[in-house]
Structures are given as structure tokens and as C-alpha cells.
Amino acid sequence: VPMSPTSAGSVRRLERRVRTIDTMFDAWCEWLKSNHKVALLCRHGTFFQDVESLLTSRGVETFAFHETEEDAARLARQAAWLKEEGMDPFALTINFYPPVQSALAPEISYAAWIVDCTLNVRVHDPKFAGQNVHLFAFDERDMGRFTTSGYPHVHLMPQSANDERMRKIDLTEDQRNRYGSDVAFVGDALILDCNEYRNLFVPRIENLIAAEPDPLTRRAFRITILSCEETLAWFDEHPFALVDEITGRLKLKESEYRSELVKLGVGDFEHLAIMVAKEAARRQRHAFIRSMSDIGVDVWGGEDWLHVMSGRNRYRGKAEHWETLPLIYNAAKINLNITRPYSD
């Protein structure tokens, strides 16, 4: 399709932005190498392989560890040994991972690239704000929250892409048959990830209401669950709302229940807001796929999707991130993106 001058200008601006980010990244990698820095990567987060691939392609020395507390301890021991050998190691994780931060010696830097900011509720806990922690975020609002929580090193990391992964793939006939579809969606059904509200919080608050002798406390409990349910009902009518709007709805009666959140096992208002936003995301994602059952969507993800399939929708299986995902995207005529209000 011929581009209008406006769209052509937008493309040129995007190309300049990508070149700028590439230059920044290349300069950072050169700085890492010249200062003998070694990246200790934790296999924590979907994009781990993208980050590892980019660093190693630029000649940065890396070591990778699994996402367990035992491996976090191994990572810390490796860092201490490299330090003794005259290297300058630092730990790098996708999102904030407390076991790594807790295991590292104070003189070893820990860099956390926060890609799902509002999921990282623990990041906002001041007890994790050590001098060796560097947080990189793409959202300036989250940078302000992290700074307010006491983190001394908060940096802006622009969103970008691994251009080696953003390419047209010449699919074989077998790959087209295996992964092809008219409309495809890849993502989690959010049943397990978002079950805290339905499976834990609601039963807990109902039991507390039944057992609480103080009428004022009982009233606060009831207002809490009522605020949550009213917010979710509002979200059903406004399915493209983001987490700040969901938080705003919950805040309407916050003063009447905030003091009881600890008793409810929530801890703070932000935890409550994220829990409700996750439940809203689950409802939104399921409703969207069901609404397209007459068209037919090929859904890739966990087996929880089997409970959501109806009409012409089909469950196609799990989608491995590094190898399979590019084949699915390239083989589909249309790819759907259903954002999550608590992280997108």
C-alpha cells in the first residue's frame, strides 16, 4: 500500500529511534567489555533468551542460571569468585527476582529490567532497595514509584526489539500446515496466574465477615468486597481500561477499608489493585475469545484454554517462545493481541 507523507514520516522517525537505541545498546556492550564486566543471567522471564542472545552477539561474557533459590545462591558464589579473579560481575534478571537480590554480596551489582512493572509488587517494598540494586523501567510512572520506595538507582530503558527476531521467515510447506491459521492468538488463559482474587481472596473475606464480632470491622470487610465487585462490573463495560483507571475506581471508597487490608491478607492497596486488575484481565481475555467463536480463533497457550473453547475456536497447544512463536506469527494471516491492563 503506498504510504502517505505522514505515515512515511512516522516510519522514518521509528527507524531513527531504533537506530538510536541500537547505538545506545552497542555503546553499553562496548563499555561492559572494556570494563571487564560479566553478566550473570537468571533464566527468569519469557524474554531471557532474547537478552542472552543480544549480549553474546555483541561479545559480552555471560553465564546463565536457572530460576531457583538454589541457583540464585550458585549465581552469588560465581559472582564472588569472578570478583576475586579481577572481573566485575553483575547479576541481570528480567523483572525483579528477590532470591537473587538476597543472595548477592553488597559489592555485587544487581540489575533488574522491569518489563511487567505492576506485577513486581515486591519491588515497591523498601526492604529490597539496596545500594547495589539498579532498576531499569520503560514507564516513567513506575520510575517515580521505585524512587519513592527508596531505590537509589532507577534508570529509563526504552522499549525496543531484537531485530533478528523481527523478520519475515520463509516457511516450509510442512511449517505452514503445522502452524498456519486465519486468525491466531498466543497467550496465557490467565486462569492460574489470576486466581488469587477468586480462589483465595473472596473465600477469605467471606469467612472473615462471618466470624468477625465487631460491626465496624465487618462493615469495612463488606465495603472492600463490594468495591472490588463494582470495579470488576465497571471493567466489564469498559474492557480497554488500564490499571490506573481500575485503581481509581477502587479508590472511591478506599478510606473506608484501607485500615483492614492487613487483616484481609492483602498487605497494601497496591496489592489489592493488582489482584483485581488480574481478575479483570482474565475476564477480558476469555470474553474476547468467546466473542469471536463465530469467526474462529486458533489459540496457542496453556491447556487451561480448553475450558474456554467454543464455536469455531480451536486450541492448538503450547507455544514455545524462542523457536515456535516466530513460526506461528509468520504463518497466521491475522495475529490478535489482547493486552493485560495490569502490565501493558
Cβ proximity of 107 and 85 under 8 Å: no
Confidence at residue 344, expressed as pLDDT on a 0 to 100 scale: 56
Among 14, 139, 22, 50, smallest CA distance to 326 is for 50
Q: Quote the CA–CA distance of 194 and 275 in Å, as a whole number.
A: 7
Confidence at residue 162, expressed as pLDDT on a 0 to 100 scale: 63
Confidence at residue 52, expressed as pLDDT on a 0 to 100 scale: 85
The answer to whether the Cα torsion of 65, 69, 74, 77 is positive or negative is: positive
Name the 3-class secondary structure at 339.
coil
Name the 3-class secondary structure at 56.
helix
Which residues of the chain carry a pLDDT beneath 70?
1-22, 45, 117-125, 158-167, 193, 342-344
Q: Quote the CA–CA distance of 327 and 255 in Å, as a whole number.
A: 50
Confidence at residue 128, expressed as pLDDT on a 0 to 100 scale: 77
Among 26, 153, 42, 34, smallest CA distance to 87 is for 34
What 8-state DSSP symbol labels residue 254? G
pTM of the model: 0.74
Confidence at residue 333, expressed as pLDDT on a 0 to 100 scale: 95
Long-range contact pairs involving 122-127 (C-beta distance under 8 Å, separation at least 24): 122/96, 122/98, 123/96, 123/149, 124/149, 124/270, 125/149, 126/150
Kind plus residue range of the DSSP H or E element containing 156: strand 153-156
